[in-house]
Amino acid sequence: MKKTVLLICILLAVAAVYAINGLAKHYRKAPLKPLPENIAKDKLFKDRSFYEDERVVIYQRDLRAMVINKQTGQKIKINYIKKVERIRDKPAEAPPLVGVAVKDGIKLVNDDETNIIELEPRFGILASYPNPGNERDKIIIDKSTNTLYLYKDGRFYKSYPVATGKDPRYTPEGRFKIVNKVKDNGDELKPQLGDRWIGLGVPYAKDMRAEKDKRAPVGGKYGIHGTNEPDSIGKYASGGCIRMDNEQVAELFELVEVNMPVEIRGIDQAPDTAPPLK
């Protein structure tokens, strides 16, 4: 009897070893499978998906969202979403994001901002920009990122890096208009302004520059212009104006008109106020 029990125990032990080795080999050799389309909600946001198609699934919780590539499992965390649009075969010359072709992407919109995510050939954020609030041509300058956003017919057209005031008070915040455009033909603009000037109508109450500051041309003390200090672009470096790369401001000059609205937003106006995901 004792021999029989001992034999059974040995056989069970051997079977267990073979089973464990078999599982280990399976997991070592098994390829990474695509993320299942029916992802268990309790493994992510404990919420139902906000959007799902053949390429991505989007989960949302509170004021944050997670975009997941169903093939690779890659994740992108962004602010909450209200509207989803697929982008397919967008040519480079078409908005949004003129200058960049999008083979396959997704546009995610909320009340404050829009994110464009490329799905193929690379999974990642292509652009994030504030919503203009209307269907007109417009410029928004965000001092928190030192970025100028151009909109045509209410659609995001292109963005440019800029330099703003070395002191936060120097570059005024609010809603203004383009009051003039000056193209330098030799002696109209001083060297520090480059060869393009797009003047902004800033009321006296928002004028933080010295009354004797004569650097700006006729049309106001504040403007969007070129520079002879290209390394300052992207930094807080100006006396209050918005500096741009000389080639880029020349491009912008041809895309804007007098009376176009220009909104300058401060650092505390950035839309990303949601708590971080954990």
- Catalytic residue ranges: 225, 241
Prior bond of 132 cis (ω within 30°): no
Dihedral sign from CA coordinates of 149, 152, 155, 158: negative
Q: Give the strand pairing for 196-200 and 174-183.
A: antiparallel
Cβ pair 50, 60 in contact under 8 A? yes
Q: Please state the three-class secondary structure of the chain as a single string.
A: CHHHHHHHHHHHHHHHHHHHHHHHHHHHHCCCCCCCCCCCHHHCCCCCEEEECCCEEEEEECCEEEEEECCCCCEEEEECCCEEEEEEEECCCCCCCCCCCEEEEEEEECCCEEEEEEEECCCEEEEEEECCCCCCCEEEEECCCCEEEEEECCEEEEEEECEEECCCCCCCCEEEEEEEEEECCCCCCCHHHCCEEEEECCCHHHCCCCCCCCCCCCCCCEEEECCCCHHHCCCEEECCCEECCHHHHHHHHHHCCCCCEEEEECHHHCCCCCCCCC
